């Protein structure tokens, strides 16, 4: 999978968040989007995810060996996203939520709900409604649905929000074990969240 940004920019009303981004993301590599608060990190990630449209320029998605672009309504099948602003269905138990999510995105090979719950350390709460989870536990749920979906592209926006030291260690294990062959893009100001990334995009360059 390749994602190509050509002269991409985004504005809200008359204010430009960023402009003239020319960049290519390729499968099997990891990238960090950095910049101060308000610089547009989450906005750029949402453009890449297809949930926002650029105000100028283009974003194209290509299969690794294909020359033709994928249609915008096809890209969601290839990516998963974890972000603080995304909500989970809190009336469901974790077990029910994974079964529900699997209807839209299959799990990675050899994965099932029980194994996923064990890997993120929530076995004792698997049958408890998510609304009773702590903020750190809810973040583990969000990471689980992103990391263990069978997708080529993994988008992570401030992935360690609300995680304690043990949760941070879990995140780093998930990166090491499940991201080697994927295209990973992390939006963050925290070095511990993107220290594994091979390339860094400083949004202040595109102001």
Helices vs. strands in the chain: H and E counts, helices first: 6, 8
Between residues 74 and 138, the one the model is more confident about? 138
DSSP 8-state code for residue 150: -
Pick 63 or 25 by higher pLDDT: 25
Q: What is the CA 157 to chain-centroid distance, rounded? A: 6
Domains of the chain: 2-206 (3.40.50.300)
The pLDDT of residue 110 is above 90 = yes
Give the largest Cα separation in the chain, rounded: 50
Position 68 scores a pLDDT of 66
pLDDT (0 to 100) of residue 71: 75
* Residues 44-56: tens digit of each pLDDT: 999 999 999 999 9
What pLDDT, on the 0 to 100 scale, is given for residue 63?
Answer: 82
Crossing angle of helices 135-147/94-102, nearest 10°?
Answer: 30
Per-residue pLDDT reduced to its tens digit, 147-169: 999 999 999 999 999 999 999 99
Alpha-helical (H) ranges within 67-112 are 94-102
Distance between CA atoms of 27 and 2, rounded to whole angstroms? Answer: 6
Asked whether the predicted pLDDT for residue 198 surpasses 80, the reply is yes
Other residues' Cβ atoms within 10 Å of the Cβ of residue 155: 22
Q: How many CA atoms lie within 13 A of 61 on its CB side?
A: 17
pTM: 0.94
């Amino acid at each position: 999978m390749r994602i190509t940004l050509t002269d991409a920019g985004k504005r809200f009303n008359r204010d430009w968040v960023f402009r003239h981004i020319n960049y290519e993301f390729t499968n099997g590599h990891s990238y960090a989007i950095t910049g101060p608060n308000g610089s547009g990190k989450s906005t750029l990630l949402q453009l890449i995810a297809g949930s926002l449209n650029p105000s100028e320029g283009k974003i194209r998605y290509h299969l690794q060996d294909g020359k033709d672009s994928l249609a915008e309504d096809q890209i969601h099948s290839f990516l998963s996203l974890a972000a603080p602003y995304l909500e989970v269905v809190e009336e469901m138990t974790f077990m029910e939520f994974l079964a529900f999510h699997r209807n839209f995105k299959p799990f990675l090979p050899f994965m099932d709900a029980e194994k996923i719950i064990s890997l993120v350390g929530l076995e004792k709460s698997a049958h408890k409604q998510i609304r009773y989870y702590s903020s750190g536990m809810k973040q583990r749920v969000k990471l689980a649905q992103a990391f263990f979906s069978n997708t080529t592209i993994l988008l992570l926006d401030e992935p360690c929000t609300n995680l304690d030291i043990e949760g941070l260690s879990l995140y780093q294990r998930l990166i090491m074990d499940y991201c080697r062959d994927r295209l990973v893009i992390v939006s963050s100001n925290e070095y511990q969240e993107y220290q594994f990334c091979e390339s860094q995009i400083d949004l202040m360059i595109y102001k």
